[in-house]
Amino acid sequence: MRLLILGISGMLGHTLFLELSRNPEMDVFGTVRRLGPLRGLFPVNRLNKIKQNVDAYDFSSIVRFVADLKPEIIVNFRTSKSPWPISGGNK
């Protein structure tokens, strides 16, 4: 099962990403705005499952990645000061 966790730089997203990645039946991916300072928090063998430059303030970056990855499940731990557009239209 392919699962995407939006926002794995926080405590909950990070923990869920690591725990679910242990399950061989799950193909777990995560998103971060920037991986640089977080690189040491993740096992080297999981870094290829983390997509950088997915920004909660840029809805189109999320839409593009979801369209490419085609996950079966999406878990949202991303943070934003403004809500996402419901219809996918303008902010």
- The CATH number assigned to the domain holding 19 equals 3.40.50
20 in any annotated domain = yes
Q: Is position 9 within any domain?
A: yes
Q: Is residue 21 part of a domain?
A: yes
Q: What is the pLDDT of residue 39?
A: 82
User: Is 84 inside any structural domain?
Assistant: no
What pLDDT is stored for residue 41 in this prediction? 85
Residue at 91 is within a domain:
no
Domain that residue 68 falls in:
2-76
What is the total count of domains within the chain?
A: 1
Burial of residue 55 (number of CB atoms within 10 Å: 0-12, 13-18, 19+): middle
The reported pLDDT for the residue numbered 5 is: 95
pLDDT value at position 2? 97
| 61 in any annotated domain | yes
Q: What is the pLDDT along the chain (91 residues), one digit of tens a residue?
A: 999 999 898 889 999 999 999 999 999 999 988 888 788 888 888 999 999 988 777 888 888 899 999 999 999 887 655 555 555 555 4
Q: Are 85 and 18 in contact (CB under 8 A)?
A: no
Is residue 85 situated within a structural domain? no
